[in-house]
Amino acid sequence: MPRRRSPSPSSSTAPRNRTPQPVRVRQRTFGDFVKAFLAFVALAVLLVGVPAALAMTAGWPFPETFEPMEWLKQDISVSTFLSILTFVVWLAWAQFTACVLVEMKAALSGVGVPGRVPGAGPSQLLARQLVAALLLVGATAASFTPSLAQLGQTFDGTQRPTVAAAQQTPGLFAQQQEQAADTAAAVADQASHTETTPAAAKKQGDTKFYRIQPPEGRHHDSLWEIAERHLGDGRRYKEIFELNKDRAQPDGSRLSEASLIRPGWIMEMPGDARGGDLVEMPDDAPEVSPEVSRQVSDYAKTGDGGQDQGGDQAQGSGSEGSGGGTAHVDLPQQRPAPDTGHADLRRPAPDQVATPAQDSSSFGLPEALLTAPLLAAGLLGALGHRRRQALWQSAFAGIGGRRGMEPPTPTGDALDVQDALLVGADPEGVRMLDRSLRGLAASLAAESRPLPTVYAAWMSNGDLHLQLAQPSGKPPSPWQLGQDQTFWMLARADADRYEDVDTAAPYPGLVSLGTMDDSRLLLNLESVPGIVSLSGREEDRAAVFASVAAELATNGWSDRMTITLVGFGDDLTALAPSRLRHLDGIEALIETMEAETRQRRGALGAAGHDSVLTGRTGPAQHTRWAPHLVLLAAEPSPEDAMTLAELAADASRLGIGYLVGTGSGDLPGAAWEMEITGEGKLLAPLLGLELDAQLLPAAQQRAVVGLFTGADPEHSPDGPGTTPPFLVDISEQGRPAVYARLVGPYEIIGLDTPDGERSALLHEALALLLLHREGVHPRVLSSALWPRGVTDDVREALLDRLRDWLGTDPDGTPRLRTDDAGRLTLAKSVVSDLDVLRSLYHEATQGKGVDSRAVRGRLLTDALVLVRGPLLADRPEGRYRWLTHEIVDAQLPLLVADTGLALAEFHMEKNRAEKAIEALNAALRTAPSDERLWNELLRATHALDDPERLTALASDLVTRSGARGLPPRTEALLDELLPAWRDAVAAAG
């Protein structure tokens, strides 16, 4: 897979060379100093005064001796309650002191949102306000507690870390944020007026170096943050990259991409870099250890013209994600292409598939769904399931007694979207992803190893790459280590070794975001330590949110989950009512999530798990720990945003993920900040990502929802249609020119068998057209026959051969035609036995057979004679895979069962039980699992008044039912017809 291209130093986004200007820093007001003084007094009283007063009045909180039994024997008095109250006050003071220390450490180190002290919500908020007010003014004095590395630095060098810390926790304190933003703007203004080329930067001061720090909490070093902290502008990360590109690091690896840096690496900095954690050379940094000083000195020798530009750049593929708790995503490295023996397993990129725009006889389909194979496969599978469910409900008269075989045929935009789903879907990719992840979970559970935290997955050239939050050892076979310890990789050929396993889906929160360099990125929303924010125009954000919601609701690699939609998607709940729910506002969301967060924390503690991942494998996997993913499209207020940030601080451990939209791009607690552009690009500069975003625009969203609501019998007042889409003239004058037998072995009457190896392909194309009399889009036809892609010339050659094979009608009209919408249709003279079967049943039950008993019996008998087995019974292995997207496999057994039931009823009206049994047995050969047929067979056999034959039938039914047992209605019927059937079956068995 191609590697990401590093930004060019000559990019138009780089600041131009300007003359350095003095920094204009906003001066503190008298009110700021008053607030700082009051904060200092309050902290002194709470931290020193309270324990001093307690010590003098109530004494030490712990007793002098430890005698629990003696305590229990003492009488409960007022002094006892006072002692308990005193102990509680001491605990509250200790908790507040811990909050102050946590907030002080976070503010001084710039780690972003501080850690949470358990059970200290209001106390920690108060401590945060007091510490911020105190440190804000203290920042003007270089630092509150300067480290050794900061001694001797100028004001500019010591101020920046504090500003960076304030910027990393926006929304926590409104006034402090505003003042920090003023200072940051002044520093950025100076940076925009400085020389930016590496050579010019070196001339402004002595050479300086920076050592990449290990991760701490959710904070991790990146070149962008280093440039922002020490150069005043994150965009100057390119200068640092150019100064250090391909130079050997202390661990022997090299920097080859700006987003791939490792803790312990050394970065040469531009000469104008400022900051207390920089190291100047050669010998003026006594606080640096001798080992680090030696590494920096050795690294300095590789600079200037002495850089070693050779070597294997693959060694520089380190990942920031090596530290626990950091959210960072890298693109997997280029791997050798799979051998030609497996080339047919790779699905082509969307631009490799023939586009109908190049064909004058067809039209374009929605590109958003054509380029989203996993989303399309999920929607297509869920739509097929919905239609099958509607058929069975109709067949068993579950919806108001309505009966019917035909779901509504979509038209207009809905039909275009359905075609796009058929063309774009990649069910094999979904199956590979699902089996691979479940197989990995099963292998780890067998080795008693926990599931690693996965931030993202990349699907590239059929291979699957998992990016871990931190190194997790050697992966189980057939998985392999990827470009470094934080990548596990599974080759496409090895993925075929996995079969379906009975284990919980380990990473149900994975969802596609887009593609980059022919690789598809799936983000694990439930594992990101914090909020994922999405900025951009409202309509662009809505298309991203709709795509994410639709894929999460219908994907094939999840078991159970809850997806909460806020600010959008009320109609999307039709896609998966059991997964999707819609809330009206942020207030309802916060109330819901506060309760669920408390519940999940308690449940994890009670189960003894540290995170939901440990509850998905091993002995406790029955708990499943389904994720809850929140998609908030409406921008929250500052207060609500702060509440969400507090909730999301511990969300990844609890299996809760947040994707929040924002117009400004500035959201507290955001671990990932992404932006969607009007050109469909999804940008994440700090992560080094620029994706072609996966979208579901509003028009296509409405069409998708229309497909699902149209398939719901409860939504449609008419239910499924009862009239076949194509009725055949069943009289002698209606004899077809071409007759295809599909119900059973595939046969064609009226055409010569094509010669050569293309015969099977022509037969398959004709079968697809016969099953879709409404017409087939050329791209749907080519996608069905060549699921891995085909060029226009090959497709057109097939259509020409198909036209020649089918020939023309006597009037010269071709039997394969193209309608006004560009879809391929067959002439009425080309008929299948399925068309005849549908027409005969329709005529017997709704046509001439309604008024004539004799006609009804003859039509039903003729219809049942056509049934020779399942649809396309002898189809070759590996072909006709498109049938998995069809509902004809559910329609045909129901149609045959209804025909058999109607004919049995016809015979039972005249007490011809043997004839009824014969008709039911004929129908059971095609619909062996239809409970209605078995029940009518029991009634017809009972009518013969032959207890032994009825007992034998009951015994056969029990044997067929296996461990599941008889259906309740069948068991109740046997109790009525043969009360002693249990004893008789047991004796016969």
Q: Can you give the pLDDT at residue 60?
A: 66
Residues in the chain, pLDDT under 70: 1-30, 32, 59-81, 106-116, 119-120, 135-206, 215-220, 257-260, 276-277, 279-289, 303-328, 333-364, 392-407, 615-624, 665, 713-723, 988-989
C-beta separation of 510 from 557 below 8 A = yes
E strand map for 584-648: 628-632
Alpha-carbon span 268 to 728, nearest angstrom: 81
Q: 279 in helix, strand or coil?
A: strand
SS3 of 29-56: CHHHHHHHHHHHHHHHHHHHHHHHHHHH
Q: Which residue has the tokens 């207390």?
A: 276
Spatial separation of the C-alpha atoms in residues 888 and 910, rounded to whole Å: 34
Three-state secondary structure of 745-767: CCEEECCCCCCCCCHHHHHHHHH
- CA dist., res. 899 & res. 693, Å (int): 50
Mean pLDDT of the chain: 76
Q: Is the peptide bond before 170 cis (omega within 30 degrees of 0)?
A: no
Q: How far apart are CA 820 and CA 273, in angstroms?
A: 67
- pLDDT score at 402: 41
- One-letter identity of residue 548: V
Q: What does the pLDDT read at residue 376? A: 92
CA dihedral 149, 155, 161, 162 (to 10 degrees): 130
d(CA 542, CA 550): 12
CB-CB neighbours of 820 under 10 Å? 5
User: How many residues are recorded in the chain?
Assistant: 989
For the segment 840-891, what is each residue's pLDDT rounded down to a tens digit? Answer: 998 998 888 888 999 999 999 999 999 988 888 888 887 888 888 888 888 8
How many whole angstroms separate alpha carbon 592 and alpha carbon 790? 50
Instruction: Specify the pLDDT at position 74.
Output: 61
Could you tell me which residues are beta bridge partners of residue 511?
523
Give the max Cα distance, the chain: 114
Judge whether 464 and 457 are in contact, CB under 8 Å.
yes
167-177 pLDDT tens trace:
333 332 333 33
Residue with tokens 């955001």: 670
What whole-number distance in Å separates Cα of residue 766 and Cα of residue 830? 10
Q: How close are the terminal C-alpha atoms of the chain, in Å? A: 62
Amino acid 456: pLDDT: 92
d(Cα 327, Cα 525) in Å, to the nearest integer?
A: 11
pLDDT at 181: 41
Report pLDDT digits (tens) over 491-517: 988 888 888 887 888 899 999 999 988
Contact indicator for 659, 545 with CB cutoff of 8 Å: yes
pLDDT at 815: 93
Q: What does 136-190 look like in DSSP terms, one character per residue?
A: HHHGGGS-SS--GGGTT--HHHHHHHHHHHHHHSTTS-HHHHHHHHHHHHHHHHH
| Rg from Cα positions in the chain | 36
Give CA–CA dist 874/763, Å, rounded. 12
Rounded distance, CA 794 to CA 812, Å?
A: 26
Pick from 343, 391, 355, 274: nearest CA to 711: 391
Contact indicator for 61, 229 with CB cutoff of 8 Å: no
- Per the CB < 8 A criterion, the answer to whether 356 and 777 are in contact is yes
User: pLDDT tens digits, residue range 625-644?
Assistant: 788 999 999 889 889 989 99
β-strand pairing of 670-676 with 681-684: antiparallel
Q: What are the residues whose beta carbons fall under 8 Å from the beta carbon of 31, sequence distance 6 or more?
A: none
Q: How crowded is residue 959: how many other Cβ atoms within 10 Å of its Cβ?
A: 10
pLDDT at 523: 93
Q: Are 632 and 584 in contact (CB under 8 A)?
A: no
What is the C-alpha to C-alpha distance for residues 692 and 518, in angstroms, rounded to an integer?
A: 10
For the beta carbon of residue 53, count every other beta carbon within 10 angstroms.
12
Residue 601 corresponds to which tokens in the numbers above?
């924390």
CA gap 701, 695 in Å, rounded: 10
